[in-house]
A and B are shown apart, each in its own frame.
Chain A
Amino acid sequence: MFRELLGRRMIDKKIEKNLIELSLIPLKYFEALYIERRTEISSSQFEIYEDEEKEKRGELIELLKEGIVDTKIEIAKFELYERMISVTSSMKDVRLVLTENRHEILEDEYKELVKILKEVSMLCKIMYEMVKGLYQNYDLALNKMQDLMETSENVISFISKFRFPSDEEKDKFDIEDPKVLISNSIRESIQSIIDVGEKITEIIEEFNFNR
């Protein structure tokens, strides 16, 4: 009861800090992944980023559990957190698939896929700016959503040659093909970043006094 009387502002501040920091991890991860794959020099940064992500996840789950969390705003923040976790999970999958299939793919195709990683890191940067915008400036976040959609459209068209097979087209493509596996995992990462953007837009629409 004493905690209830004091309110949740300090907890909310910590959640804000941790959510923004968590949203920065995919950017750092994809940047590092791009450099690692381009230079072919393995980096120990990934372990640091993965540990940081694990720590942030733990802290956030504890903070979100504290006090009364069934208000609409708390539920919205939890849903945003879940979507951000999808991004961090998919970024690890991309690295894993790239590592596993490095020698199963033509050099030129591999280089093209690596280039896409740079573009994905740009998307992660927009996502990070959107999360910051959500907390500090709704208009900025909404503008960034447009950038996110345009940039993701470009990246998706760039990976279209590796095709993400739809149900109708699955006979045309071998889903076990390494380049398809890699492009699919990148595509999933992009989708999870878009999902974060859409959640942010939803939250702004719900909690904006100007609506």
Chain B
Amino acid sequence: MVDAVLIILVIASIILSFAIGTNDETFAPVVGVKRLSVRSAVIIGAIVAVFGAFLLAPKVSDTLNNDISTIQVSSEIVLIISVFISMALCLILASIFGLPISSTEAMVGSILGLTIARGEKIIWSWEGMGHIFFTWAVSPLLGFIGALLLMKLMNKILSKSVKGLSGLETSNAISGSLLLVWVVIAGFSRAGNDISNAIAPIYPLFQNSEASIFYQRIPMLLGGAGLGLGLIIIGWRVLKSLGNDVVELTPESAFVTQASSALITLIATMLGIPVSGTMILVASFIGAGYGSKKPINLKSVRTIVIFIFLTPLISGSFAVAFYYLLRGVF
């Protein structure tokens, strides 16, 4: 029975890693400015994901301990699997339609759904749902304003320094290359962080002080491989849609998108303001596009916004459905 549980947990972890990979929009700006083709972006993204996950060895010990309700996800295998499968399904479905969604939102939705279904208590205070709501409200706003201001500053500098097409192409080449380096670093660290939740249940099972480091890091390797595969098989849809459909990017505005979202995340973290990486990135796209006076595809933006609101509801419903289905099995 223990082996069967282990196998199920490993499979669930890999599926969730795969799902996170399908919705990884890190390389979208590089695709948007045609610095890399979608094919090259997903291949490089997958390689970066495997190395990032394996080498950065995330701190997984604290994950899955939620502070938004009294439910203890890690206490029951059915709860873990229900949360994982509902998150994965949500992310994969969104990716098939090319929609970038927040995996944090999917997780929160799943946990809340299960909390309500089991009659447990939701913590509405700042320590619980309060800061989550604050995050969801403040992240897009910060992303938009930050990218807009940075884009205006960038335009001011470029309008003084770029005199002709030759200068513009040099600026494009520099911005494009910096952007590429930036997204590789972001992909590296994101792979390390994003798989934390996915591998949390299996991570302790591989921690044996007598085993080699490679053995101890097998969960990260599995998570990284799943993330990479997700990016290659379905993730290109999100890269294509966010990179090409939302707003027309230039290498400069794409660089601003990445730089401002990283800067805002860093400042917010230093100030202790919780923020969502996906929401900031999507809002930065729109802010940089607006700042560079490029037309914004409002239809795509509207769809993304609708799904920001729907994600917790859908993942919560999925989690409850899976919970009652799986309870009969375990």
Contacts and interface: CB of A to CB of B under 8 A. Distances in A.
A65 interface: no
B34 A138 contact: no
Contacts of B177: 7
Contacts of B165: 16, 73, 134-135, 203, 207
B164 interface: yes
B35 A7 contact: yes
A142 to B, nearest CB: 11
Interface string B18-44: 000000000000000111110010011
B162 interface: yes
A137 interface: yes
A72 B163 CA distance: 19
B155 interface: yes
B173 interface: yes
A209 B158 contact: yes
B207 to A, nearest CB: 37
Interface residues of A, number: 26
Contacts of A4: 35-37, 40
Nearest to B293: A211
B163 A138 contact: yes
Q: At the interface, is chain A mostly helix, strand, loop or mixed? A: helix
Interface in B152-185: 155, 158-159, 162-166, 168-170, 172-173, 176-177, 180
B168 A207 contact: yes
B168 A7 contact: no
B169 A210 contact: no
Given A7-B173, A7-B177, A207-B168, A136 B163 contact: yes
A138 to B, nearest CB: 6
B163 A73 contact: no
A71 interface: yes
Nearest to B172: A73
A64 to B, nearest CB: 14
A9 B164 contact: no
A133 interface: yes
A73 B176 CA distance: 14
Given A7-B35, A70-B34, A136 B166 contact: yes
Q: At the interface, is chain B mostly helix, strand, loop or mixed? A: helix
A63 to B, nearest CB: 13
Interface string A1-23: 10011011100100010000000
Contacts of B163: 136-139
Contacts of A137: 163-164
A138 B164 CA distance: 5
Contacts of A12: 169, 173
B119 to A, nearest CB: 54
B155 A209 contact: yes
A72 B168 CA distance: 13
A106 interface: no
Interface string A171-211: 00000000000000000000000000000000100011110
Contacts of B176: 7
Contacts of B36: 1, 4-5
B166 A1 contact: no
Given A16-B165, A210-B159, A1 B170 contact: no
A41 interface: no
B173 A5 contact: no
Most buried by A among B169, B170, B172: B169
B291 to A, nearest CB: 12
Nearest to A70: B34
A205 to B, nearest CB: 12
5 closest cross-chain pairs (CB), A and B: A209-B159, A9-B173, A135-B166, A209-B158, A136-B164
29 contacts: A1-B40, A1-B43, A1-B44, A4-B37, A5-B40, A7-B35, A7-B176, A8-B173, A9-B173, A70-B34, A71-B33, A71-B34, A133-B164, A134-B165, A135-B164, A135-B166, A136-B163, A136-B164, A138-B163, A138-B164, A139-B163, A141-B164, A203-B165, A207-B165, A207-B168, A208-B159, A209-B162, A209-B168, A210-B159
Given A4-B36, A71-B34, A139-B163, 8 more contacts: A7-B35, A7-B177, A16-B166, A73-B169, A135-B165, A136-B164, A207-B165, A208-B159
